[in-house]
Amino acid sequence: MSTSSASARQAALEDILIPARIVPVLTIDRVEDGVPLARALVAGGVRVLEVTFRTDAAADAAKAIIADVPDAIVGMGTVLDGDDLRRALALGAHFAVSPGATPELLDAAAASTLPLLPGVATASEVMQAKARGFNLLKFFPAEQAGGISMLRALAGPFPSTRFCPTGGVHADNVTTWLAEPNVICAGGSWLCPASDIKAGNWEVITGRCIDAMKKLRRR
């Protein structure tokens, strides 16, 4: 990965994630839920969405969102290898997110035009990602990997690295995470739990997003 291309991809990712503050992690079981879910989130002021590759419906749901909800900025999550990264790019995703960072995946990202937010949980994984030009990382699973105390410990040896904590982040602690100087945004599924998606409670999801964004603005 050349320095210029790495920097450009990092800058593109920052432009997406810094204004977002909260990135909902979406596990979509039915294709037909994708568009109304995305519209509900966008109506609540949440535009940057991570659609995980965890279900058979994920790719088609993401494709429909990208086509029919132009205000949504769609990233593909649970990207595990180069094939997933290429699938995300072919779908028209704006970015990709991985739970971890294997050498194979990081090499694939170096050859791709799609910005990747690689997942890390340890200092060694941060070092491997930084060696390939990644200074914006997903901290996952955030609470289970040591929580805010771990993130503060990583800030010492890696002062230029910033994180998106995901995993155990929820309505009651998201503002605490976002107050950390090396955190640019936070991810989680609390804005749209599976029960609300299954029931089609789109107005409830919108209301939850509105409340969350109001809370962030009061900080």
50 is a catalytic site residue: yes
Do the Cβ atoms of 156 and 177 come closer than 8 Å? no
- For the chain, the DSSP string reads --HHHHHHHHHHHHHHHHHH-EEEEE--SSGGGHHHHHHHHHHTT--EEEEETTSTTHHHHHHHHHHH-TT-EEEEE---SHHHHHHHHHHT-SEEE-SS--HHHHHHHHT-SS-EE-EE-SHHHHHHHHHTT--EEEETTTTTTTHHHHHHHHHTT-TT-EEEEBSS--TTTHHHHHTSTTB--EEESTTS-HHHHHHT-HHHHHHHHHHHHHHHHT-
The residue from 32, 130, 138, 198 that is catalytic is 138
Which is it for strands 95-97 and 73-77: parallel, antiparallel or unpaired? parallel
The residue from 32, 50, 143, 214 that is catalytic is 50
Positions marked catalytic: 50, 138
